[in-house]
Amino acid sequence: MVVTYYTIGFAPEASRFFKQLLLVFLIQQMAAGLFRLIAGVCRTMIIANTGGTLTLLVVSCLEVSYFLKVKFQSGGSGVTGFHL
């Protein structure tokens, strides 16, 4: 992560680097916890595939609705700067 952070041209301040490192670590922990939850709840392979697919669908829908809400509240381009 050190190599990609500085070669992309992000801010050279150490505090921002460690904030991003903490964010990546927390996202990884959340993904691992979600994986373990699906594995614990869905015991067979067929149910696990269905549960994983439904989880991806729910997360994707929540993400899209969040970005659309942010876009319409900001009056245009939103967080990403793209117009949908």
pLDDT tens digits for 5-18? 777 777 788 888 88
Q: Residue 77: which domain range?
A: 43-84
Residues 1, 32: one domain? yes
- pLDDT (tens digit, 9 = 90+) per residue, 16-69? 888 888 999 999 999 999 899 998 998 899 999 999 999 999 989 988 887 777
For position 84, what pLDDT does the model report? 46
Token pair for residue 66? 């969040």
Residues 54, 67: one domain? yes
Q: For residue 52, what is the enclosing H or E element?
A: helix 45-74
Residues 20, 51: one domain? no
Q: What is the dihedral of CA 13, 19, 1, 57, to 10 degrees?
A: -140
Neighbours of 17 (CB within 10 A): 16
Residues 37, 5: one domain? yes
Residues 14, 24: one domain? yes
User: Longest C-alpha distance within the chain, in Å?
Assistant: 48
Residues 53, 35: one domain? no
Residues 2, 30: one domain? yes
Residues 58, 84: one domain? yes
Q: Are 16 and 10 in contact (CB under 8 A)?
A: yes
